[in-house]
C-alpha cells in the first residue's frame, strides 16, 4: 500500500483552531464492516489526492439512527439524531459528504426537523463535482470497454432522485454502462433497507438480493457498481450464491475511481 | 299526461343524486376519522402534482399498454359528461337534442362521442382479456379473489353496456332522422352508429321510437346506477384520484415524519436543566399512542389513500418482498385499510354515529406482523402508484406501534437496537473503535 491515509478528525482540527470545508460522515458500515471499510479508504485516498480540506468525527460519530427509525423505534432514532446534531452543531458543521445513502437521506431529510441543518451530498455527487472542477482526473483507462451496470440504492435514487451522478462517473471511466431491466426509479431493492440488514428475511421463495443479482447477471456485466455499503454486501453475497465471484466484481463508485487513478 | 316522462325522469335523477350524496357524506365522515395533518404547504407543487398525475395521467403511461387504454376510457368518461348534460336537460324539459342549435360544432361533438364510445368498447374488451384470458400475474394475488375480482370485471361490463346503449340510441335516432319523424330533428353526425342503423330499416317507426326511448332510458339509468356503484367499488378512484394526488406526499420519498410527541420527550430527557424527579403535570393530556394499530390512528390522508386505491397492483408487482414470495403486498395493505375503515363506519352507522369497540383492529385482524416486517422501505410501491398512494407510510406507522407500544420487534432487531443504544452502532462494536480502520492496512 502506498501513502499513509491522512484522516484528520474534527477534534484535532478544532484544537488547532481550524475548520474543515466538509465533514466526511463515515457511517457505521464504513467504520466497522470489513468490506465497507475498503470503500471508506478508497474515498479517503481520493480526498487526499484532491487535497480536500475535510475531517471525520471519528469516535464522536454515532449511528444516525436510520435503522432504528425504519424498524419503528422513533425514540431511539431521535435520541441518536439529537446527540449527533449537538456534536455537529458544536463544530459548526456546514457541509457533509457521506458514502452511505442511508446516512445521506437521514441527515439530509430528517435531521433538519430536529435542529440539524447542513448541506448534505452523497459521495458520488461530491466526486462528480471534483471531476468537473478538475480536482481529480480519470485517465487510467483500466476500465476501458468493461461492461459496468449500476445498481441504484433505494435511498439515493427513489428516495432522493439522485440517478445521474454515479452514472456520469461510470461513463467517465470509458466503460460501457449497461442498464438492468429495473433501473433508476424502477430499480429493485437489494434487500437490506428498512432494517432488513439485521434480521432474517421473512419466508418467501427467494432472497431479494438473489433476485436482484439475477437481474444484474442478465446484462452480463464485468462489474456491478454500487453506491451504498449495504447494497455492496448484498450484491456481493448474491454474486457468491450464483458462483460468479470470479467473473463479476462488485465495486463501489469510489473504489472504481481510486482504482482508475491507481491510488 | 305529456309530462309524465319528465316527472319520472326528475324523480329518478333526484333519487340517484340524493343516494350518491348520502354516501359521499359517509365517505367524508369516515375519512375524517383519521388524525389531522397539515396539508397547507407546497400549494403550487400540490396543484402541479394533481395536474400532472391525475389530469395528465403521467404515471399511467409508465406501462404503455394499459396506460393508453386507460387514457381512452378516461377521456371517454370526461367527454361523455357533456353528452350526459344534454340527456339530463332533454329528460327534464322534454326536448330532443337541445344542444343541436350548435350546428356544425354539435355534429363534431356527437361524432367524437361516437368514436370515443367505439374506442372505449375496444379498450374495455382488451382490459377484460388482460384480466380473464391472459391472466396477468398481478391480478392473481390472493387479495384479488372474490369481490375485488368481480368488482373489476363488473366495471368493465357496465362500461361496455353503457357504450353499446349509447350507440344503439344514436343509431335509432339517426334512423328516425332519416325517416323525417317529427320530434327527431336532423342533428348530429353519426360516424359509428350509421352502420348500426340499417339493422333497424325493416322496423316500424313506432318500434324504432320504442327502441330509441328504451336505449335512452337505460343509458341514463345506467349512468345513475354507476354513479352510485362507485362508493362500493375500487372505481371510486375516478373521483378521488384528484384530491388524492393533491394531498399526496410532497416531501422527498425517503423523508419520514419525525413524531412530534417523541421529539418533546426526547428534548426533555436530554435537557440537563430538567428535574428528573419533578412530579408529572397533573393537567397533562394522557400520553399519545405511538404509531398505529387501527384506522383511527392513521392520518386522514392515509384513509383517503385507502378509498382511492384502484387495486391495480402496480405497487405489489414492483415490491421486492412480494416479488420474492413474501406475504407482504402493498396493495393488500391499502385494501385492508379500506375494509377496516368501512367496518368501523358501519359500526358507527349502527350505533348512532359513535364507534363501539368491536374487539377488532387493523393490526392483527387484517394485517399480520409478518407482512409488516417484510418491508424494506424501498419506496417502490410509492413510486409505482399511479394515483400517489403511500402504502409504506401505513406500514411504518404500524411498525412504530409494534415497537414502541408493544415491544414486539423480531429479536434480531431488538439486538440491533440494543447495540445502537449501547454502542452507537447497529453492530456490537465499541464506539471508541470507530476510527480503527484508518490505522489498519
Ligand atoms: S416500501 Fe415496502 S411495501 Fe413498498 S415496495 Fe418496498 S418493500 Fe414493498
Ligand atoms: S396503492 Fe396504488 S399502485 Fe397499489 S393497487 Fe392501489 S392504486 Fe394501484
- The reply to whether B99 touches chain A by the CB within 8 Å rule is no
Q: Which of A198-202, A227-231, B264-268 has the lowest mean pLDDT?
A: B264-268
- What is the number of CB-based contacts under 8 A between chain A and chain B? 214
Beta bridge partners of A98: A25, A122
Mean pLDDT across chain A: 95
Largest CA distance in chain A: 57
The answer to whether B433 and A88 have CB atoms below 8 angstroms apart is no
R_g (Cα) of chain B, nearest Å = 28
- CA–CA dist B119, B192 (Å, integer): 11
B 298-357: CB under 8 A from A? 318, 320-321, 323-328
- CA–CA dist B316, A215 (Å, integer): 18
Ligand 1 atom, smallest distance to B376 CA = 7
Beta bridge partners of B187: none
pLDDT at B2: 74
Q: Exposed, middle or buried by CB within 10 Å (0-12, 13-18, 19+), for B112? A: middle
CA separation, residue A72 to residues B259, B299, B396 (Å) = 11, 17, 6
**What does each of the 441 residues of chain B score in pLDDT, given as a tens digit?**
578 889 999 999 999 999 999 999 999 999 999 999 999 999 999 999 999 999 999 999 999 999 999 999 999 888 888 889 999 999 999 898 999 999 899 999 999 999 999 999 999 999 999 999 998 888 889 999 999 999 999 999 999 999 999 999 999 999 999 988 988 888 888 999 999 999 998 899 999 999 999 999 999 999 999 999 999 999 999 999 999 999 999 999 999 999 998 998 888 888 777 665 666 566 666 667 999 999 999 999 999 999 999 999 999 999 999 999 999 999 999 999 999 999 999 999 999 999 999 999 999 999 999 999 999 999 999 999 999 999 999 999 999 999 999 999 999 999 999 999 999 999 999 999 999 999 887
How many other CB atoms sit within 10 Å of the CB of residue B331?
27
- CA–CA dist B132, B152 (Å, integer): 10
Query: What is the H or E stretch that residue B157 is in?
Result: helix B147-178
Task: Name which of A28, A72, A207 is nearest B425 (Cβ-Cβ).
Answer: A28
Ligand 2 atom, smallest distance to B237 CA = 7
Closest-approaching ligand to the CA atom of B395: 1
How many other CB atoms sit within 10 Å of the CB of residue A120?
23
B144 lines ligand 1 (CB under 6 A): no
Contacts of A70 in chain B (CB under 8 A): 256, 377, 396, 399
φ, ψ at A131 (rounded to 5°): -65, -45
Q: Which residues, including other chains, have CB under 8 Å from residue B275's CB and lie 6 or more apart?
A: none
In three-state form (DSSP H/G/I as H, E/B as E, the rest C), the secondary structure along chain A is: CCCCCCCCEHHHHHHCCCCCCEEEECHHHHHHCHHHHHHHHHHHHHHHHCCCCEEECHHHCCCCCHHHHHCCCHHHHHHHHHHHHHHHHHCCCCEEEECCHHHHHHHHHHCHHHCCCCEEEEHHHHHHHHHHCCCCCCCCCCCCCCEEEECCCCCCCCCCCCCHHHHHHHHHCCCEEECCCCCHHHCCCCCCCCCHHHCCCCCCCCCHHHHHHHHHHHCCCCEEEECCHHHHHHHHHHHHHCCCCCCCEEEEHHHHHHHHCCC
* Angle, vertex CA A14, rays to CA A12 and CA A15, nearest 5: 65
The answer to whether B245 and B389 have CB atoms below 8 angstroms apart is no
pLDDT at B284: 60
Q: Is a pLDDT exceeding 60 seen at residue A8?
A: yes
What confidence tens digit (pLDDT) does each residue in B391-433 have? 999 999 999 999 999 999 999 999 999 999 999 999 999 999 9
Q: Exposed, middle or buried by CB within 10 Å (0-12, 13-18, 19+), for B338? A: buried
Closest-approaching ligand to the CA atom of B141: 2
Give ipTM to 2 decimals: 0.95
Q: Exposed, middle or buried by CB within 10 Å (0-12, 13-18, 19+), for A91? A: middle
The answer to whether A65 and A80 have CB atoms below 8 angstroms apart is yes
The conformation of residue B41, written as its DSSP 8-state character, comes to S
Helix axes A208-218, A229-241, angle to 10 degrees: 80
pLDDT at A140: 65
Q: Is a pLDDT exceeding 90 seen at residue A262?
A: no
How many other CB atoms sit within 10 Å of the CB of residue B38?
6
Q: Exposed, middle or buried by CB within 10 Å (0-12, 13-18, 19+), for B435? A: middle
Contacts of A67 in chain B (CB under 8 A): 416-417, 420, 426
Q: How many angstroms separate the CA of residue B381 from the nearest CA in chain A?
A: 10
DSSP string, B255-323: -PPPPHHHHHHHHHHH-TTS-TTPPPPTTPPPPPPPS-SSGGGSBHHHHHHHHH-----HHHHH-HHHH
Q: Do A80 and B426 touch (CB under 8 A)?
A: no
B110 lines ligand 1 (CB under 6 A): no
What confidence tens digit (pLDDT) does each residue in A119-171 have? 999 999 999 999 999 999 887 678 988 999 999 999 999 999 999 999 999 99
The conformation of residue B357, written as its DSSP 8-state character, comes to P
Sorting pLDDT into bands at 50, 70 and 90, what band is A175? very high
- Residue B399: CA count within 13 A, CB half-sphere: 29
Residue nearest to atom 7 of ligand 1 (CA): B375
Q: Do A193 and B425 touch (CB under 8 A)?
A: no
Sorting pLDDT into bands at 50, 70 and 90, what band is A95? very high
| b/e code B407-429 from CB counts within 10 Å (16+ = b) | ebbbeebbbbbebbeebbbbbeb
B323 lines ligand 1 (CB under 6 A): no
What confidence tens digit (pLDDT) does each residue in A23-55 have? 999 999 999 999 999 999 999 999 999 999 999
Q: Do A59 and B435 touch (CB under 8 A)?
A: yes
Nearest to B77 by CA among B113, B129, B108: B113
Sorting pLDDT into bands at 50, 70 and 90, what band is A1? very low
Contacts of A159 in chain B (CB under 8 A): 252-255, 379
The answer to whether A46 and A77 have CB atoms below 8 angstroms apart is no
SS3 B158: helix
Distance B318 CA to ligand 1 centre (A): 8
pLDDT at B277: 65
Contacts of A68 in chain B (CB under 8 A): 416-417, 420
- CA–CA dist A148, A176 (Å, integer): 6
* Angle, vertex CA A20, rays to CA A15 and CA A24, nearest 5: 110
* Angle, vertex CA B275, rays to CA B274 and CA B279, nearest 5: 125
- CA–CA dist A167, B139 (Å, integer): 35
Q: Do B252 and A161 touch (CB under 8 A)?
A: yes
Beta bridge partners of A9: A56
Q: Do B378 and A212 touch (CB under 8 A)?
A: no
Q: Exposed, middle or buried by CB within 10 Å (0-12, 13-18, 19+), for A56? A: buried
Q: Which three cell numbers stand for residue A171?
A: 461513463
Q: Which three cell numbers stand for residue A173?
A: 471511466
Contacts of A33 in chain B (CB under 8 A): 427
Contacts of B327 in chain A (CB under 8 A): 202-203
Q: Which three cell numbers stand for residue B241?
A: 384520484
- CA–CA dist A259, A246 (Å, integer): 18
pLDDT at B272: 73
- The reply to whether B271 touches chain A by the CB within 8 Å rule is no
Q: Do B266 and A78 touch (CB under 8 A)?
A: yes
Sheet hosting strand A147-150, strand order edge to edge: A176-178, A147-150, A223-226, A249-252
The answer to whether A39 and A232 have CB atoms below 8 angstroms apart is yes
Query: What is the H or E stretch that residue B146 is in?
Result: none
- The reply to whether B81 touches chain A by the CB within 8 Å rule is no
Q: Cell 356544425 sits at which residue?
A: B104
Q: Which residues, including other chains, have CB under 8 Å from residue B210's CB and lie 6 or more apart?
A: none
Distance B390 CA to ligand 2 centre (A): 9
Amino acid at each position: 500500500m502506498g501513502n499513509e491515509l491522512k484522516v484528520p478528525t474534527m477534534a484535532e482540527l478544532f484544537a488547532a483552531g481550524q475548520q474543515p470545508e466538509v465533514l466526511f460522515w463515515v457511517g457505521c458500515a464504513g467504520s466497522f464492516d470489513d468490506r465497507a471499510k475498503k470503500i471508506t479508504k478508497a474515498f479517503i485516498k481520493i480526498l487526499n489526492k484532491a487535497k480536500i480540506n475535510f475531517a471525520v468525527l471519528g469516535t464522536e460519530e454515532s449511528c444516525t439512527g436510520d435503522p432504528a427509525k425504519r424498524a419503528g423505534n422513533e425514540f431511539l432514532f431521535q435520541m441518536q439524531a439529537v446527540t449527533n446534531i449537538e456534536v455537529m452543531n458544536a463544530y459548526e458543521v456546514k457541509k457533509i459528504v457521506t458514502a452511505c445513502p442511508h446516512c445521506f437521506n437521514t441527515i439530509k431529510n430528517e435531521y433538519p426537523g430536529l435542529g440539524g441543518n447542513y448541506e448534505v451530498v452523497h459521495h458520488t455527487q461530491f466526486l462528480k463535482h471534483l471531476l468537473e472542477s478538475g480536482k481529480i482526473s480519470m485517465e487510467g483507462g483500466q476500465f476501458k470497454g468493461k461492461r459496468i451496470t449500476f445498481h441504484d440504492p433505494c435511498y439515493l435514487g427513489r428516495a432522493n432522485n439522485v440517478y445521474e451522478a454515479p452514472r456520469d462517473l461510470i461513463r467517465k471511466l470509458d466503460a460501457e454502462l449497461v442498464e438492468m431491466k429495473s433501473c433508476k426509479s424502477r430499480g429493485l431493492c437489494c434487500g437490506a433497507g428498512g432494517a432488513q440488514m439485521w434480521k432474517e428475511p421473512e419466508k418467501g421463495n427467494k432472497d431479494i438480493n438473489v433476485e436482484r443479482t439475477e437481474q444484474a447477471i442478465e446484462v452480463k456485466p464485468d462489474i456491478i457498481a454500487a453506491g451504498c455499503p449495504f447494497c455492496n454486501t448484498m450484491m456481493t453475497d448474491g454474486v457468491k450464491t450464483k458462483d460468479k465471484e470470479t467473473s463479476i466484481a462488485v465495486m463501489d463508485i469510489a473504489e472504481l475511481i481510486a482504482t482508475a487513478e491507481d491510488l | 299526461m305529456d309530462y309524465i316522462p319528465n316527472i319520472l325522469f326528475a324523480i329518478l335523477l333526484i333519487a340517484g343524486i340524493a343516494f350518491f350524496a348520502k354516501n359521499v357524506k359517509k365517505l367524508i365522515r369516515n375519512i375524517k376519522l383519521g388524525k389531522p395533518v397539515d396539508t397547507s404547504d407546497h400549494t403550487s407543487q400540490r396543484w402541479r402534482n394533481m395536474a400532472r398525475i391525475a389530469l395528465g395521467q403521467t404515471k399511467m403511461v409508465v406501462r404503455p399498454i394499459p396506460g393508453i387504454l386507460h387514457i381512452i376510457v378516461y377521456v371517454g368518461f370526461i367527454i361523455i359528461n357533456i353528452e350526459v348534460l344534454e340527456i339530463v336537460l332533454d329528460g327534464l324539459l322534454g326536448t330532443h337534442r337541445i344542444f343541436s342549435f350548435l350546428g356544425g360544432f354539435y355534429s363534431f361533438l356527437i361524432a367524437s362521442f361516437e368514436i370515443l364510445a367505439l374506442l372505449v368498447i375496444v379498450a374495455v374488451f382488451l382490459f377484460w382479456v388482460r384480466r380473464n384470458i391472459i391472466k396477468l400475474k398481478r391480478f392473481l394475488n390472493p387479495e384479488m379473489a372474490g369481490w375485488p375480482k368481480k368488482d373489476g370485471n363488473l366495471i368493465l361490463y357496465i362500461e361496455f353496456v353503457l357504450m353499446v346503449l349509447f350507440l344503439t340510441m344514436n343509431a335509432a335516432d339517426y334512423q328516425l332522422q332519416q325517416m323525417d319523424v317529427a320530434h327527431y330533428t336532423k342533428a348530429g353526425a353519426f360516424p359509428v352508429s350509421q352502420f348500426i342503423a340499417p339493422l333497424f330499416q325493416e322496423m316500424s317507426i313506432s318500434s324504432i321510437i320504442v327502441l330509441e326511448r328504451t336505449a335512452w332510458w337505460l343509458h341514463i339509468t345506467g349512468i345513475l346506477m354507476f354513479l352510485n356503484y362507485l362508493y362500493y367499488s375500487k372505481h371510486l378512484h375516478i373521483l378521488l384520484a384528484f384530491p388524492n394526488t393533491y394531498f399526496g406526499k410532497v416531501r422527498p420519498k425517503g423523508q419520514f415524519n419525525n413524531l412530534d410527541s417523541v421529539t418533546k420527550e426526547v428534548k426533555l430527557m436530554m435537557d440537563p436543566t430538567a428535574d428528573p424527579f419533578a412530579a408529572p403535570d397533573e393537567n397533562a393530556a394522557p400520553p399519545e399512542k405511538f404509531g398505529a394499530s387501527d384506522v383511527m390512528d392513521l392520518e386522514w390522508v392515509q384513509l383517503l389513500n385507502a378509498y382511492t386505491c384502484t387495486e391495480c397492483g402496480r405497487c405489489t408487482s414492483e415490491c421486492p418482498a412480494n416479488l420474492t414470495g413474501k406475504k407482504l403486498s402493498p396493495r393488500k395493505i391499502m385494501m385492508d385499510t379500506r375494509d377496516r375503515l368501512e367496518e368501523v363506519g358501519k359500526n358507527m352507522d349502527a350505533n348512532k354515529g359513535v364507534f363501539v369497540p368491536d374487539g377488532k383492529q387493523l393490526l392483527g385482524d387484517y394485517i399480520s406482523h409478518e407482512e409488516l416486517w417484510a418491508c424494506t422501505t424501498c419506496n417502490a410501491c410509492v413510486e409505482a402508484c399511479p394515483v400517489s398512494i403511500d402504502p409504506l407510510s401505513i406500514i411504518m406507522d404500524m411498525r412504530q406501534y409494534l415497537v414502541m407500544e408493544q415491544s414486539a420487534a423480531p429479536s434480531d432487531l431488538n439486538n440491533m437496537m440494543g447495540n445502537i443504544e449501547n454502542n452507537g452502532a447497529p453492530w456490537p462494536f465499541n464506539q471508541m473503535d470507530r476510527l480503527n480502520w484508518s490505522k489498519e492496512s
